[in-house]
Amino acid sequence: MMGAYGEYTATLTSDFCMGRTEVTVAAYRQCRSTGACTGEGPWPVEQDDRCNYSDTDQSRDDHPVNCVTYEEAREHCQAQGGDLPTEAQWSRAAQGDDRRVYPWGSCDPSCSRANYDVNGSPGEEPNGLGCAEAHNGPFTWTVGSAPEGASPYGLLDMAGNVAEYVRGCYGLRQACEGELGCIDPVTAEAECDGDPSRLVFGSSAESSASNMYLYSRGMFFSDYSSGVGMRCVVAPLQ
């Protein structure tokens, strides 16, 4: 796959398939029910109303699973026969080959394209003036609720709703720019020099319009966040 990111041509050495939407609560619950997902999380809605997971309440089953750790997210994707995307894979799937600043192109964010700004714009009161219009959960939307925001490959919610874990080291920029070019596969985590931070890409419902750009690259230290979820990649069928 060929593309461009910034001033550098990107070459991904292997093809991949990426989930059209973020992993849902229902999909993660199914993984737990089979014993393939063994983590203690996700943090449940009963303890944090901005978290979507519940063993008893199915009202948010079509929302993205959030409040999961990096290890739990990666375990889920591996249980599906894949993994979390690399930084290069995620960037390519979101941006395509025309250097667009948003998955949908260059037009400004709108609520028909993404779920964002749940807390309202800076300086505006009361909070809850963004697309989600909620002080408390759920502030996410069901996955795929903003089809006008699709990426060049038809992937949904790559901006807004929840940001997504990717594999890689924050200190080693791997998203197809700089002298490194585009690295695929990702640098082994053992080579991250013990850096405990995790990479997240994309924006969430908590992001303001000014933080919706595709080149937003997050460094995440917490165990979990209501604004972080996942999508998975797998190898193409032969």
Q: What confidence score (pLDDT) does residue 157 get?
A: 96
- The per-residue pLDDT for 144 is 96
Q: Where are the domains of the chain?
A: 1-105+112-227
- Among 6-15, 50-59, 178-187, the range with the most confident prediction by mean pLDDT is 50-59
pLDDT tier, 176 (very low <50, low <70, confident <90, very high otherwise): low
**Pick from 109, 90, 57, 158: nearest CA to 118:** 109
Residue among 86, 69, 71 nearest 168 (CA): 86
Predicted confidence (pLDDT) per residue in 11-32, tens digit: 576 788 999 999 999 999 999 9
Q: Average pLDDT of 111-122?
A: 79
Question: What pLDDT is recorded for position 124?
Answer: 54
Q: Are 22 and 164 in contact (CB under 8 A)?
A: yes
How far is 70 from 16, CA to CA, in rounded Å?
21
Distance CA 140, CA 145 (A): 10
Check residue 121 and give its pLDDT.
Answer: 56
- Say if CB 226 and CB 19 are below 8 A apart: no
Mean pLDDT of 65-70: 94
pLDDT at 79: 96
Average model confidence (pLDDT) across the chain? 81
C-alpha dihedral sign at 67, 175, 196, 207: negative
76's CB contacts (< 8 A; 6+ apart) are 23, 27, 28, 31, 36, 37, 68, 230, 232
pTM of the model: 0.85
pLDDT at 180: 44
Whether 204 has a pLDDT exceeding 60, the answer reads yes
Consecutive H or E run containing 226:
none
- Whether 178 has a pLDDT exceeding 50, the answer reads no
Residue 138: how many CB atoms within 10 A of its CB? 20
| Rounded-to-integer distance, Cα 26 and Cα 181, Å | 37
pLDDT tens figures, 33-67: 999 999 888 999 988 888 999 999 999 999 999 99
Number of helices (H), then strands (E), in the chain:
3, 8
| Mean pLDDT of the region 207-230 | 81
Q: Which fold has domain 1-105+112-227?
A: paralog of FGE (formylglycine-generating enzyme) (3.90.1580)
- pLDDT of 135 > 50? The answer is yes
